[in-house]
Structure formats: structure tokens, C-alpha cells
A and B are shown apart, each in its own frame.
Chain A
Amino acid sequence: MRSSFALVLLCLSASVLGDEALDRRVTSLAHELRCLVCQNQTIADSNAPLAVDLRNQIREQMAAGKSERDVIDFMVQRYGDFVLYRPPLKATTILLWAGPFAFLLLGFFFLIRFLRHRQVPAPQLSDAERAQAAKLLE
């Protein structure tokens, strides 16, 4: 009797733990996906009805054994790359990824050019000053 009770408890806690692990996976993936209704929120943060539906969709698919990759593919197929908070690196997004570095290089280019062309006036000393300096150095 006692052992069967323990077994039930064990099963219960296992399923609760399983749910918690699933919860964590759902939440972490939901943080990677953009809510298309309120575009600057993730579907984890948004309370828009669509975000709720999509969270449920993630949970359903993960509970059915789908991987993170599968769920992301499912979303991208329907909503496009825009749904990803981290846009993929490809031909159409190359400007997005390389742009900041290109601007950095451009900045260096102008900085170096500016520094090279800057004319540092050589210190001009009068004969009197020269003589004074020579005296000090002796």
C-alpha cells in the first residue's frame, strides 16, 4: 500500500518535472520568435491573441516530440524570416549583418586619412628663444 502510494507520488513528480522541462523549452523558444501583431515583442512577452495561439502551438508540437528546429521551420514557413528575432545570414540580409562593420571600416578610413593629412605646424622658434633653450640645455 505504502509502496504503491510512493510510486504514484513518484509518477506525479516525474510528470510535473517533465512539464517543467517542457515549459522551459517552450518559453526559451518563445523568446526567439517575434510576435507579428506587436512587432517589437517576442511571442513570450506579448499577450496578443496570436502570440497566445503561437505559444500553444509551440507547446503542442514540442509535447508531440518536435525539436526546436522543427518548430522554427514551421513558423518560418508561415510567417517568413521576420518571425525570427535573430535574422539568418543570407544574401538578402547581408547588408544587415555586414553593414555595421562596413561603417566601422569606413570610419577608420576617414580617421586615418584625416590624421595623415593633418598638418602639424613645426614649432617655430626665434633666434633669441633658440639661444635661451641652448643655454638651458647646457
Chain B
Amino acid sequence: MTKLVWTLGIFIALVALLAIGLQLNPREVPSPLIGKPAPAFDLPLLTAPDKRFSQKDMIGKVWMLNVWASWCPPCLVEHPVVTQISRSGLVPVVGLNYKDQRDDALPWLKRNGDPYQLIAFDPNGRIGIDYGVYGVPETYVIDRQGVIRYKQIGPLTPDVVQKKIEPLIKELQGAQ
């Protein structure tokens, strides 16, 4: 009898372990950049090559950096969500156009709408490496001091925005 209880107990424990394992997403690699200053960059703008943007320009503001590319289908999927955040005026949304070409990126924006306050242009993906980008789209929430507070790997969903990003941004905006 006790033997049966033991065997059943071990079996249930094993099933529970495997069930938890199956629900973890191996693609969500915890970023070592959370809590660290956003890596420095100074890039030309996608829409105006003679102008430049640096992460320093946003010091004093809570902002969102959204890494996207015209060749990335999930970016198109999250596009309405990004647009909605930007329209709501919750937070300034800056784009980082990653490993893309102007001739592809500009028509993409024309077709799908441009929700970004401005877009930094990173054609060879060098700044992407500094931000630990490995699967576009990725989104960073950066606080007033320029520290990364959140990283979303993969497309933003209304659920994530409502449950994680909105509360975080409001909290960060509240803190002086």
C-alpha cells in the first residue's frame, strides 16, 4: 500500500515538473539589461538621414523603444498595438528600424501607418547587438534616468500592454 502511494507520488511530481517545463518559453531569455542604463547610440533618422537621435535625447522622460523591421511579419502583427499605445499618448514611442533598408521600411510605414515619434535607423544591426536584440520585434521601456525597466521579446499584445506595460509606465511616470 505505501509502495503504491510512493510510486503514485513520484509519478505526480514528475508530471507536474514536466507540465511546468512545457509551459516555460525557451525563447524568452531573461535580459541582463534590465536595471542597466540603456546602451548609448547616436543614429541617423530613418525618415530624415541628416538628423540624428541618441538615447540621451530622452533623459527625463519615460519612453518606449520598439525594435522593428519591414521584413518581420510579427512586427506587422503588433503594429496595431504599437499604434494604439502611441495614439493614447501614454508614452512617447521611438522606433529602431533594425537591419532594414530605407527603400523597404518607408513604403512599409506608408502602407501600415507610422505610429513613431521618430525612428532611428540601424541598417547593420550594430545597435541591436548592444541592446541584446535577437528576435524582432522587441520593445524596451526606459525610465527618466535612462535605465531599462522592461523588455518584451516578440510582439506586444493587448494583454501584455494592459497587465504589464501600462501599470509600469504609470508607476515610472509617477516617480520623480
Q: Are B32 and A80 in contact, with the CB atoms below 8 A?
A: yes
Q: Are B29 and A53 in contact, with the CB atoms below 8 A?
A: no
- From the candidates A36, A53, A76, A80, name the one contacting B135 in the complex (CB within 8 A): A36
User: How near does chain B come to A64, taking the closest CB pair, in angstroms?
Assistant: 14
Q: Are A78 and B130 in contact, with the CB atoms below 8 A?
A: yes
Can you name the residue of chain B whose Cβ is closest to the Cβ of A34?
B29
Q: Are B29 and A36 in contact, with the CB atoms below 8 A?
A: yes
The contact string, 1 if C-beta is below 8 Å from chain A, for chain B 95-117, is 00001000000000000000000
Chain B residues touching A, majority SS: loop
Count of B interface residues, CB-CB < 8 Å: 17
Q: Are A78 and B131 in contact, with the CB atoms below 8 A?
A: yes
Q: Are A50 and B134 in contact, with the CB atoms below 8 A?
A: yes
Find chain A residues with CB under 8 A from B51 CB: none
A54 and B133 alpha carbons, distance in the complex (Å)? 11
Which of B26, B27, B29, B130 has the most chain A CB within a 10 Å cutoff? B29
Can you name the residue of chain A whose Cβ is closest to the Cβ of B71?
A49
Find chain B residues with CB under 8 A from A77 CB: 32
Q: Are B134 and A79 in contact, with the CB atoms below 8 A?
A: yes
A39 and B26 alpha carbons, distance in the complex (Å)? 9
